[in-house]
Amino acid sequence: MHIYIDGEYFAQQDAKISVFDHGLLYGDGIFEGIRFYNGRVFRLQEHIKRLFISAKAILLEIGMTEAEITEAVCDTIQKNGLSDGYVRLLVTRGVGSLGLNPFACKKASIIIIADKIALYPEEKYQVGLKLVTCSIRRPAPDALSPSVKSLNYLNNVMAKVEAIQGNAEEGLMLNAQGYIAECTGDNIFVVRDGRVYTPPSAAGALPGITRDVIFEIAAQLNLELREADLTRYDIFAAEECFLTGTAAEVIAAVELDGRPIGNAKPGPVTERFIDAFRKLAGSEGHAIGQ
């Protein structure tokens, strides 16, 4: 494996950062997870744009242009000889002092990893996931904006621990008001009476790239999709539920807190979204060798 760090490539065992990097010391940085299929990077422009918006929000100067980052991502995939897989693109604040002051960091550090990924076993895409509600809440937007895809993921990690200890594959996270925000690593959608609903970003959900694709697919399938404040009851009462994310793609959820969702099987609307997403992801994107 060849890992990109600040313009150079290193073998996995040699890929290292400083112990004084603020990304390590404080989670001070941003990242993107990006998928590529059949030699094409899916929604690369959207991921790069979101990266730069996150950087602007936290006053992080990346030090490269969008075009240069795009080229580095594609070059890293090529160097690893991959046509299908996953990219983890990170920008840390860089080396600084042991103090919090981010301006002590003189230059950001850019890391790109390209590899294979399987977030859930293939059989889970056939039978669906079990969810549990986590006691860990999503931070309020005025504490840490969910729109910033930062390296500070301890909130999600601890919620994931709860899910695993609850014998579930994913954890449902609520906001401070008790409305559904998202899952530990995925956006969430429910289907009821032929309509599709998802929490708004203001509820604490990351504005996901795959989430945006679902809006596009819904329009193509002539399905009504609305943003709405949702509670756990809305999932209990739903006919179907599914999750979306770059790594997860689109996957059904069939149980929440021991209660079956619908008939406890992936539903027909969910299956339409899965099929449409896979066709789209497999046929469009930024050519790696471009």
State the Cα–Cα distance between residues 254 and 238, nearest whole angstrom: 10
Question: Is 149 considered catalytic here?
Answer: yes
- What is the C-alpha to C-alpha distance for residues 270 and 265, in angstroms, rounded to an integer? 10
Q: Tell me the C-alpha distance between 163 and 35, whole Å.
A: 25
**Whether the Cβ atoms of residue 217 and residue 275 lie closer than 8 Å to each other:** no
Q: Strand runs (DSSP E) across 158-239, as ranges?
A: 170-174, 180-183, 187-192, 195-198, 224-227
Q: How far apart are CA 110 and CA 32, in angstroms?
A: 12
Q: Are strands 170-174 and 180-183 parallel, antiparallel or unpaired?
A: antiparallel
Of 116, 149, 160, 279, the catalytic one is 149
* DSSP calls for 184-204: SSSEEEEEETTEEEE--GGGT
DSSP state of 135: S
The closest of 196, 145, 214 to 175, measured between CA atoms, is 145
Residues marked active site are found at: 149
